[in-house]
Chains A and B, each alone.
Chain A
């Protein structure tokens, strides 16, 4: 006898719906299926109008983030077997406008991400012929963890501050700023500080810690933000207290 699983999926099609509503689907249960497989089954065999983002099916691309029973998760990383005998309720990521069904509008994040200049700002222009910028394993270790971010935005959906204050730069962008600030090849800390050390930057964070709990790549953005708070505070004091310092 084959088993079934019931999925309640939040639907919103702006040309048809004035507001989102849940639609129930039944899919066959497979021990090795993740929620994304169930969504693909619906798309291919039940209802082709269902919209959602996905690409790699292996927790690398960061496209299939959604709320699964109220928790932000990658649909490719959430096995049906972990929700046995439950109705699985699937919604688009919290704290983002819904474009269509499970697809969210990510424009605000893209702007925040670019605002922290997430790239190496070199100390000095260097000709290609001068060779590569060398880095020791120790220097790499200082920031490697923060390079693992896949921009899946689960942290934004988990963070209550992101929901309560739209202008908060948010966990992933701040963790990436920290990643470049810690990079021995980088000299852009001061340029990033205008955004990072502002009220809408690190100081909007109240250390709920949910961003790190839900991160599928164990980036630990909460740690990055707290470390940036300490570093920004020290910079603030140094700029005012050290002899000859000026701002």
Chain B
């Protein structure tokens, strides 16, 4: 009797059935907005290089209702991305001190701490 194994195809909707896959796909989607915000910063540099009028125009565009909405959406997605990434760091970067594993909460806490320090430096540098 000859063998005839059957291969089932993965459906395009594979990620819709389970919460863990939906959460993963949302996390992947957040990268798009993080990327868009990076592109916005590049455009800002480009406008700055073009002179005062171009830079002021860029700032006006940022403070328009649409500009503010875009930044708020990006902030929400970037925060989601960061929080979920920090939650995963104990897996990727397990630490041990004198042979004893550092608790996961401490590793996550160190990341939040580093985030706070970097944010503070940025705020001080920006003169806010």
- Which A residues contact B (CB, under 8 angstroms)? 12, 14-15, 19-20, 70-71, 94-95, 97-99, 105, 138, 141, 160, 163-164, 206-210, 212-213, 220, 222-223, 226-227, 229-230
Contacts and interface: CB of A to CB of B under 8 A. Distances in A.
Contacts of B94: 223, 227
Given A98-B8, A138-B99, A227 B18 contact: no
A241 B88 CA distance: 29
Interface in B8-47: 8, 10, 14-15, 17-18, 20-21, 24, 28
DSSP majority for the B interface?
Answer: loop
B3 interface: yes
B97 interface: no
Given A208-B20, A220-B91, 20 more contacts: A14-B3, A19-B6, A20-B6, A20-B8, A70-B17, A70-B18, A97-B7, A98-B6, A138-B99, A160-B21, A163-B10, A209-B20, A209-B24, A210-B21, A210-B24, A223-B91, A226-B91, A226-B92, A227-B93, A229-B92
Contacts, number: 66
B2 to A, nearest CB: 8
A210 B1 CA distance: 37
A99 B3 contact: yes
A105 B5 contact: yes
Q: Which 7 A-B pairs rank lowest in CB-CB distance, beginning with the nearest?
A: A226-B92, A14-B4, A97-B5, A223-B91, A163-B10, A98-B6, A97-B7
Nearest to A223: B91
A14 B92 contact: no
18 contacts: A14-B4, A14-B6, A19-B6, A20-B8, A70-B17, A98-B5, A99-B3, A105-B5, A138-B99, A160-B10, A160-B15, A206-B24, A208-B20, A209-B91, A213-B20, A220-B91, A226-B93, A230-B93
Interface of B: 1, 3-8, 10, 14-15, 17-18, 20-21, 24, 28, 88, 91-94, 99
Contacts of B6: 12, 14, 19-20, 97-98
Contacts of A97: 5-7
B24 A94 contact: no
A22 to B, nearest CB: 13
A208 to B, nearest CB: 5
A166 B21 CA distance: 19
Nearest to A92: B8
A138 B99 CA distance: 6
B15 A14 contact: no
A227 B94 CA distance: 8
A99 B91 contact: no
Given A12-B6, A14-B3, A20-B8, A227 B14 contact: no
Contacts of A71: 18
B24 A208 contact: yes
